[in-house]
Structure 1
Amino acid sequence: MHELDYMERVAYAYARALQSTDSTVWVNRRVPTDARIKWEQCNDMGCAPALFGVKDTSQISRAMVDRLAKDPRFVWMSVDRMAPHGRAIDPELVNPLTGRRMTGSTSGGPVNILRGIHDLAIGTDGGGSILGPAIATQLVGINGKGLGLVGGQPSRSTEGYPLTVGIGAISHTFALARDAIEVLLGRSLAKGSDGLRIALDEAAPRGALSALNQHFAKVEPFSKEGSFQRETGIKMLEALFEHNDVVVSYEGPVDVDAYCDSLAMGQHLDERGGKFLLRSANILNATAVAIPDEHPARGFVVMAPEGYQHACGAFTVAERLATQFSRTALFEDYFMHRTRVEHSGFFHLEV
């Protein structure tokens, strides 16, 4: 990318951020200057700096944000909206992909990625609040809880489970989300072993089994039936972790056929909400990665027990799935590759 092209992209993203008062809480007025400085630093590295937003929550410390903002590869664009009271849907924000209420509670960040405002959203996950929004918008999501990336205050799930939120990233590519996690962690993630034992959801697309069988020693099927209920999901994931290094669940469509939200549905949550083991991963301190496929609001959730080596295994499996499965050309053209210039008002002049 040439410098003028990059700065044009930044200018349109900055203008869009200022307009998007429903999904952004604050916009960094230094973005044009910061982007130019970072371009000069990053150009020697052969890359264009990525724009990022941060969820509007005190669980993410300023020190952690500064760690990312000081890296030459990243420019801080915005503070992004959080669903009210951290709930599982955002009743005031629409998912640009599905037209349904946006999945929460990391709601504004993924919306801003699809709007072209930034490339990366830093968020928190208590009971699926990174993984759910990522899958709902067909983006990559990583919860770094198992690596020690955690919030500052204790919390509680809607069922009363005590927890500490995990901190992670959502992006349009696995590589960018992983880069952000490594910066936040202050450490690179190594490649996991080919001898990993993997539990694979029997509902996963056929290509997943062949893709994993080619690279890993043992892939065994399991059924996630009933795991939309968090108590069931926690017990299931605990049992799977006893005999497997990595668990891969296929989930969705998230918040399309029904909302998986306790306030909206009361005690009548069911599998139509599309959230299964993703609701339990953080409570078990897992490292978890959401990888989209071609189907809207569907994707894989790759989970591993707490610890660095386990996380490396999860990232290796997730990267393999990311190379095997991709979003549709229509999605890419509409949300990723479309022109950043969007005309509004009564008329525009073409020359």
Structure 2
Amino acid sequence: MYEYKLNQFLKVAKGSIKASKLLEKTVEKLNEDALLEVKDILMKHDTVITIGIKNTGQINKKYIKRLIDKGKYVWHTIDFMSEGGRAVDDRLINPLTLRPMTGSSSATALNVLYGINDIGIGTDGGGSVLAPALSLNLCSIMAKGMGLKGSIDRVSTDGIKFVPGIGVISHSFELAKESIFTMLDVKEKVIRFENIKVCICKKGEITLPDGKDMREKLDLVLSKLMDMKITIGEEEFPDFENRENSIERMNEIFKAYDMVITCEGPIDILGLGDSVFGTLGSFAKSVQNKSGKYMVKIANMLNATSITLPINEVASGIVITSKEGLEEGMAAISVVENLKDIYSLPDLYYRYFKESYLRENKDIIFSL
């Protein structure tokens, strides 16, 4: 146990060093007292959980306080938001795809990827939590449908009024789930899967940017859902190119179903899912429509709860979206609990990013 706690302290210490190197890039402010707080936490608990928070007034401090009051969370960084809350961040590069980072919560997602923080808390208007998580093969839960949301109305670049949802990004689905329940101050409930109805698209209806059929990429997930006795139905999906029309169609589907499941990505590799860019002519619009974003673009505007679960393909994952309601969101989380082990990422992914604190730099001056 002593060695485990020592490793926890080492992880945060090395994370703080890395965060200090990223000041004015992904990190706006670093908690200089974090290590003192970590020491106190590890005197009483077996583990410590570091938090990065997107710098926006939409995240009520009461949610952060509920985490801190648990006695094992410590805020570590305040993270930059993309300029104007734009869907791409032209200051940052995605280290997996070498393309511009996705989403206004992109800095928060990057700080999780690199193991600086165990969880990142961000806001989502048109995919700003879900899409950056997908683009980095991370888990995320955007819990607006469960009541976790901001308080100030915003208007999207395509003229849709919305209130941002609040979500969590993490390497660990378990940590994301625990933090969501803690922020909401609710307890997990037992869900009867046989009462759940899930909707998917039909074969041949949606072709992803990599040329693969979305429905076929859901086969592993559907097999697991059938084992869970969940009812599965197929419906005609929107093309997701027009956000307003897509919202209207998905609202119709949610009248008959509890959840919608999609496979999305690769995010912003073969296209660029930014509506500012997409307004500049038909060619720009065609590139925008190859961004690999579908439900993630509208989940918050549906007042839904939406969860990303990475698959073993770059910048891609399963997206599980439930209609509005606390119990509906809990049901989606329970479903994902049973899906999370279907896919696994390469060990190199974790060694290079999440566990990079273990890597020695071996500077020349110390190797003499």
Q: Same fold (TM over 0.5)?
A: yes
Q: How many angstroms does 1:300 deviate by?
A: 1.1
Q: Report the alpha carbon displacement of residue 224 of structure 1 after superposing the two structures with TM.
A: 4.0
- In structure 2, the partner of 1:91 is 90
Give distance in 2, aligned partners of 1:330 and 1:68: 31
Please tell me whether residue 209 in structure 1 is matched to residue 222 in structure 2: yes
Give the one of 323, 333, 354 matched to 1:336.
Answer: 354
Aligned-pair distance for 1:208?
Answer: 1.2
**2:257 aligns to what?**
244
1: distance between equivalents of 2:88 and 2:149?
22
2:135 aligned with 1:117? no
Q: Tell me the amino acid that sits aligned with residue 349 of structure 1.
A: F
Pick aligned residue for 2:324 from 299, 306, 326 = 306
Partner in structure 2 of residue 282 of structure 1: 300
Mind listing any 5+ residue stretches in structure 1 that lack a counterpart? none
1:34 aligns to what? 37
The residue aligned with 2:128 is 129
AA aligned opposite 1:74: Y
CA deviation after TM superposition for structure 1 residue 182, in Å: 0.8
Three-state SS of the structure 1 residue aligned to 2:179 is helix
Structure 2 residue runs without a partner (length 5+): 203-213
Aligned 8 A contact 1:224 1:277 in 2: no
Query: Does residue 364 of structure 2 align to residue 347 of structure 1?
Result: yes
Are the counterparts in 2 of residues 141 and 168 from structure 1 also a CA contact under 8 Å? yes
**1:304 CA displacement:** 0.8
- Deviation string 1:187-233 (CA, Å, 9 cap, x unpaired) is 12223221211112451332111011110331123454511431232
Q: Which residue of 1 aligns with 2:59?
A: 60
AA aligned opposite 1:259: L
Matches within 5 A, 1:1-351: 2-21=4-23, 22-43=25-46, 48-195=47-194, 196-202=196-202, 203=214, 204-222=217-235, 224=237, 226-266=239-279, 268=285, 270-343=288-361, 347-350=364-367
User: Partners of 2:276 and 2:197 in 1: how far apart?
Assistant: 38
Question: Which stretch has the larger CA shift, 213-222 or 72-81?
Answer: 213-222
Does the CA contact (< 8 Å) of 2:238 and 2:245 recur in 1? no
SS of residue paired to 1:274:
coil
Between the aligned residues of both structures, percent identity stands at: 31
Distance (Å, rounded) in 2 between the aligned partners of 1:29 and 1:238 = 46
Q: Summarize the Cα distance change of 1:337–1:102 in structure 2 as closer, same or farther, 3 Å threshold.
A: same
* 1:110 match: secondary structure: helix
**Preserved contact between residue 135 and residue 290 of structure 1 (Cα < 8 Å):** yes
In the alignment, is the contact (CA less than 8 A) between 2:112 and 2:171 conserved in 1?
yes
Give CA-to-partner distance per residue, 1:218-256, whole Å, 9 cap, x none.
Answer: 112345451143123212311221111111111111111
Distance 1:228 1:253 in 2: 16
Number of equivalent positions: 346
2: CA distance, partners of 1:188 / 1:201:
32
Give the Cα–Cα distance (whole angstroms) in 2 for the partners of residues 147 and 225 of structure 1: 25
Whole-Å separation in 2 of the counterparts to 1:83 and 1:38: 32
Task: Tell me by how many angstroms 1:327 deviates.
Answer: 2.0
Inter-CA distance 171–108: structure 2 relative to 1 (3 Å threshold) = same
CA contact under 8 A between 2:164 and 2:300: conserved in structure 1? yes
Residue 58 to residue 187, structure 1, CA distance change in 2 (3 Å): same
Superposed displacement of residue 338, structure 1 = 4.0
1:308-347 superposed Cα distances (whole Å, 9 cap, x missing partner): 1111111122222212222233322322334434527x52
Q: TM-score, normalised by structure 2?
A: 0.89
Q: Deviations over 1:56-112 (max 9, x none)?
A: 111112222222223223111000111111010000011122111100111111111
Give the ranges of 4+ consecutive aligned residues of structure 1 lying more than 6 Å apart after TM superposition: none
Alpha-carbon contact 1:246-1:313 (below 8 Å) kept: no
